[in-house]
């Protein structure tokens, strides 16, 4: 049998024996590895852009639809709830039909919900329903992470996951700037009245999301080898794939941690502009710029988390990944506590920047661990972890920021305390082949009698 060196060169990037890329070159568009990367992050970027395209225009929408503060709060929670269910379903869908079809199908199904803001929303209930349906699109995060884990090998998978998710998450910041601009251009250049202008504005995110889905279907490839890119449903049933993932306690622990890294990030996206507007008296434009900068830090912070995870793994193995995740998320929690206690504008902005970088890096570090939990049920584990993020956002929003008896600054500090406490269960994660934070491996890799396999 020919060795890897003797086989014909099929890829422009060096690969391992599973044909996964062993290097990550984000400026390349080589097929299939880097093409999948660019399709994955761009498609998810469009979904983040759509999901968060509504809040920047809420000030004008609320006037036309007679929305109350409670309606707006319920709509925000509804968008997260929709994401919880869809992320749970997306994991098994990726295991069974592959990330390309699963991702593109969801984008095409939810794009009309974004477009409904233009034609069908005329009441508070319809507004809440649309936010619920649009939130489903964020399940494409699970497909993106699954896709990267299928294309890139262990030494660089954390970086690939981090950059794909980080660049995509920038969409939540870009839309804060772009949607008001589109609205203003429609009013000033085309002389549309305000009620018409904000409705027409939503045709842009809907079209953008649909186009990226078509690109994924047309140019995407599930796995490096096209022969291996067929759906897996013929090999194993949904119940088997799902059971293997659900019974793995590591997935549940990572879901909890992600609930208070990405979940805390989502909650902050919802309240940070209002927080600076109310507490420090800045105008709405400045508050919007601060909110946009929080989300746009994902351009480098989440990729940095993935890079740190891979580098720690090279030096210290799995123990390095786990210790790194605990340290960065704990620091994020401490900065969150401080954010609610700083009394000066510039001091708060400085602390917020530190919190933004660390909490987003913690999300990247989390998905530096996810690909090693289960190979056959990778989609289920990714879905569980991803759902944990939006579930954490719902819990935090309801407990601390919806009709809470605490001030907003106290609620922010309490969120930081929750982050610190809910990071501690990471000490329970142990991989028999690689160990955990506090102890070494319990499995002898050289043993020929023990047929244990972690990737089950």
Residue pLDDT, tens place only, 342-360? 999 999 999 999 999 999 9
Query: Domain boundary residue among 192, 223, 254?
Result: 223
- pLDDT over 60 (residue 149): yes
Bridge-based pairing of strands 430-431 and 435-436 is antiparallel
Tokens representing 332?
Answer: 């994020």
- DSSP tag of 10: -
Contact in structure between 308 and 365 (CB atoms under 8 Å)? yes
Backbone φ, ψ for residue 108 (5° rounding):
-70, -30
Q: Do 201 and 52 share a structural domain? A: yes
User: Average pLDDT, whole number, for the chain?
Assistant: 86
pLDDT band at 238 (very low <50, low <70, confident <90, very high): low
| Tally of domains in the chain | 2
CA distances from 413 to 396, 416, 418, 419 (A): 12, 5, 9, 10
Check pLDDT > 70 for residue 128.
yes
Q: What is the CATH number of the domain that holds 272?
A: 1.20.1250.20
Q: Classify residue 410: in a domain, yes or no.
A: yes
DSSP-derived 3-state class of residue 401? coil
DSSP class of residue 21 equals B
**For the chain, percent of residues with pLDDT exceeding 70:** 91
Helix (H, G, I), strand (E, B) or coil at 189: coil
Three-class secondary structure of residue 342 per DSSP: coil
Q: Using the predicted structure, report yes or no on whether residue 451 has a pLDDT greater than 50.
A: no
C-alpha 396/C-alpha 388 separation (Å) is 12
Note whether residue 126 is domain-resident. Answer: yes
- One domain for residues 95 and 164: yes
Position 237 scores a pLDDT of 61
d(CA 39, CA 28): 12
Residue 169 has pLDDT above 50, yes or no: yes
Task: Please give the Cα distance from 88 to 139 (Å, whole number).
Answer: 8
Lowest-pLDDT range, 44-58, 280-294, 387-401? 280-294
The values of phi and psi at residue 278, to 5°, are: -80, -45
Strand partners for 435: 431
| Residue 404: pLDDT band with limits 50, 70, 90 | low
Residue 344 lies in a domain: yes
Examine the fold and report which residue of 173, 200, 223 is the final residue of a domain before the chain moves on. 223
Residue 234 has pLDDT above 50, yes or no: no
Burial 321-333 (b: 16+ CB within 10 A, else e): bbbbbbbbbbbbb
Task: For residues 184 and 288, state if they share a domain.
Answer: no
Rounded CA gap, 179 and 56, in Å? 7
Exposure letters 195-208 (e unless 16+ CB within 10 A, then b): eebbbbbbebbbeb
Residues ≥6 apart with Cβ < 8 Å to 422: 256, 257, 259, 260
**Residue 436 bridge partners (DSSP):** 430
Which pLDDT belongs to residue 104? 95
Q: Is 147 found in the same domain as 171?
A: yes
Q: Could you tell me which residues come within 8 angstroms of residue 128 by beta carbon, excluding any fewer than 6 positions away?
A: 71, 74, 75, 78
* Distance from C-alpha of 308 to C-alpha of 334, rounded to nearest angstrom: 20
Residues 112 and 256 in one domain: no
Instruction: Read off the tokens for 390.
Output: 């939006």
Which is nearest to 371 in space by CA: 299, 431, 446? 431
Q: Is 58 exposed, middle or buried (0-12, 13-18, 19+ CB in 10 A)?
A: middle
pLDDT bin (cut points 50, 70, 90) of residue 283 is confident
As given in the structure block, the two tokens for residue 112 are 């009309």
pLDDT digits (tens, 9 = 90+) for 192-207: 998 999 999 999 999 9
For residue 422 the two structure tokens come to: 């809910």
Q: Are residues 252 and 162 in the same domain?
A: no
The average pLDDT across 134-158 equals 89
Q: pLDDT tier at 89 (50, 70, 90 boundaries)?
A: confident
Q: Which domain holds residue 68?
A: 32-223
Q: Which of 190, 223, 256 is the last residue of a domain?
A: 223
Question: Is residue 205 assigned to a domain?
Answer: yes
Q: Is residue 4 part of a domain?
A: no
Q: If you average pLDDT over residues 372-400, what whole number do you get?
A: 85
Q: CB neighbours (10 Å) of residue 71? A: 18
Indicate whether 145 and 91 sit together in one domain: yes
Question: Is there a domain that residue 6 lies in?
Answer: no
The pLDDT, as a whole number, for residue 227 is 59
Q: In 3-state terms, what secondary structure has residue 397?
A: helix
Q: Look-up: residue for tokens 């549940």? A: 252
Q: Is pLDDT at 39 greater than 80 in this prediction?
A: yes
Q: How far apart are CA 110 and CA 184, in angstroms?
A: 26
Same domain assignment for residues 298 and 201: no
Same domain assignment for residues 259 and 353 = yes
Q: Same structural domain for residues 430 and 382?
A: yes
Helix axis angle, 171-188 relative to 284-296, nearest 10°? 140
Q: Are residues 265 and 180 in the same domain?
A: no
- Give 288's pLDDT tier (boundaries 50, 70, 90): confident
Note whether residue 356 is domain-resident: yes
Cα gap 368→40, rounded to integer Å: 17
Asked whether residue 233 is assigned to any structural domain, the reply reads no
Please indicate, yes or no, whether residues 218 and 245 belong to a single structural domain of this protein: no
**pLDDT for position 233:** 45
How many helices (H) and strands (E) would you count in the chain? 19, 2
Asked if residue 445 has pLDDT above 60, the reply is no
What element of type H or E holds 430? strand 430-431
**Cβ count near 5 (within 10 Å):** 6
Beta-carbon contacts of residue 232 (< 8 Å; ≥ 6 apart): 95, 96, 97, 98, 241
């Amino acid at each position: 049998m020919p060795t890897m060196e003797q086989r014909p060169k099929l890829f422009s990037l060096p690969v391992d024996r599973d044909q996964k890329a062993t290097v990550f070159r984000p400026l390349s568009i080589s097929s299939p590895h880097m093409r999948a990367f660019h399709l994955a992050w761009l498609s998810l970027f469009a979904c983040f852009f759509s999901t968060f395209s509504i809040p920047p225009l809420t000030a004008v929408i609320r006037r036309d639809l007679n929305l109350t503060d409670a309606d707006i709060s319920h709509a925000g929670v509804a968008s997260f709830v929709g994401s919880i269910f869809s992320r749970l379903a997306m994991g098994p869908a990726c295991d069974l039909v592959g990330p390309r079809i699963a991702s593109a199908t969801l984008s095409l199904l939810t794009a009309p919900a974004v477009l409904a803001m233009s034609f069908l929303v005329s009441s508070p209930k319809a507004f809440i329903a649309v936010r619920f349906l649009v939130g489903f699109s964020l399940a494409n995060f699970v497909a993106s992470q699954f896709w990267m884990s299928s294309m890139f090998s262990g030494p660089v998978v954390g970086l690939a996951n981090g950059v794909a998710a980080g660049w995509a998450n920038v969409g939540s910041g870009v839309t804060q700037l772009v949607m008001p601009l589109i609205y203003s251009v429609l009013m000033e250049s085309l002389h549309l009245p305000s009620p018409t202008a904000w409705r027409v504005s939503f045709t842009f995110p809907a079209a953008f999301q649909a186009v990226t889905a078509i690109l994924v279907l047309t140019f995407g490839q599930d796995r490096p080898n096209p022969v291996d890119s067929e759906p897996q449903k013929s090999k194993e049933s949904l119940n088997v794939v799902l059971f293997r993932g659900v019974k793995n306690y590591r997935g549940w622990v990572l879901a909890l941690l992600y609930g208070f890294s990405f979940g805390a990030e989502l909650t902050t996206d919802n309240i940070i502009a209002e927080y600076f507007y109310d507490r420090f008296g800045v105008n709405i434009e400045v508050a919007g710029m601060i909110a946009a900068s929080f989300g746009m830090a994902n351009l480098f912070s989440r990729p940095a988390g993935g890079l740190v995870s891979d580098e720690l793994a090279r030096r210290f193995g799995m123990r390095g990944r786990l210790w790194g995740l605990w340290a960065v998320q704990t620091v994020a929690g401490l900065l969150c506590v401080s954010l609610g206690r700083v009394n000066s504008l510039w001091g708060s902005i400085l602390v917020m920047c530190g919190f933004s970088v660390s909490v987003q890096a913690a999300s990247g570090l989390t998905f530096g661990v996810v690909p090693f939990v289960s190979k056959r049920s990778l989609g289920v584990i990714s879905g569980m972890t991803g759902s944990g993020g939006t579930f954490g956002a719902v819990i935090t929003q309801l407990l601390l920021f919806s009709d809470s008896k605490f001030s907003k600054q106290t609620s922010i500090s309490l969120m930081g305390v929750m982050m610190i406490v809910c990071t501690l269960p990471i000490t329970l994660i142990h991989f028999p082949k690689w160990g955990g934070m506090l102890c070494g491996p319990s499995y002898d890799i050289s043993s020929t009698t023990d047929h244990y396999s972690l990737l089950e």
